[in-house]
Amino acid sequence: MKSSFWLEMEDGTEIHIRKWGSEIEHPKAIIQLSHGMAEHINRYEDFARFLVEKEIIVYGNDHRGHGKTGEKQGLLGYFSDNDGFFKAVRDLQAISMKIKQVYPDVPIFLFGHSMGSFLVRNYIQTYSRHIDAVILSGTGYFPAITTTVGKSIASIMPPREPSRFMNNLAFGHYNKKIKPKKTDFDWLSNDGEVVQQYIQDPFSGYIPTARFFYDLMTGLNHMQNKRRNRYIRKDLPLLIISGDADPVGNYGKGVWRTAHLYKKAGLRNITTMQLPSARHEILNEVNKAEIYLLLYQWIEKNLSKM
- Write the pLDDT tens digit of every residue in 274-302: 999 999 999 999 999 999 999 999 999 99
Domain containing 51 equals 2-304
pLDDT band at 165 (very low <50, low <70, confident <90, very high): very high
AA identity, residue 143:
P
Looking at every residue in the chain, the average pLDDT score rounds to 97
AA identity, residue 262:
Y
- Write the pLDDT tens digit of every residue in 236-245: 999 999 999 9
Beta pairing, strands 238-243 & 133-137: parallel
Buried b (16+ CB within 10 A) or exposed e, 153-173: bbeebebeebbeebbebbbee
Closest CA to 17 of 8, 25, 29, 26: 8
What is the helix (H) or strand (E) element at residue 86, kind and residue range?
Answer: helix 84-102
pLDDT band at 26 (very low <50, low <70, confident <90, very high): very high
Does 44 have pLDDT greater than 90?
yes
Does 29 have pLDDT greater than 90?
yes
AA identity, residue 255:
V
pTM over 0.95: yes
Other C-beta atoms closer than 10 Å to the C-beta of 22 total 12
pLDDT band at 180 (very low <50, low <70, confident <90, very high): very high
Share of the chain above pLDDT 90, in %: 97
- Write the pLDDT tens digit of every residue in 51-97: 999 999 999 999 999 999 999 999 999 999 999 999 999 999 999 99
Does 15 have pLDDT greater than 90?
yes
CATH number, domain at 107? 3.40.50.1820
What's the half-sphere exposure (Cβ side, CA atoms, 13 Å) at 88?
A: 35
How many separate domains does the chain show? 1
Give the separation between CA 198 and CA 193, rounded to whole angstroms: 9
- Write the pLDDT tens digit of every residue in 220-231: 999 999 999 999
Question: What DSSP assignment string belongs to 168-215?
Answer: HHHHTTTTTT-SS--STTGGG-S-HHHHHHHHH-TTSSPPPBHHHHHH
pLDDT band at 306 (very low <50, low <70, confident <90, very high): confident
Q: What pLDDT, on the 0 to 100 scale, is given for residue 2?
A: 86
Q: What pLDDT, on the 0 to 100 scale, is given for residue 305?
A: 87
**Mean pLDDT across the stretch 156-182?**
93
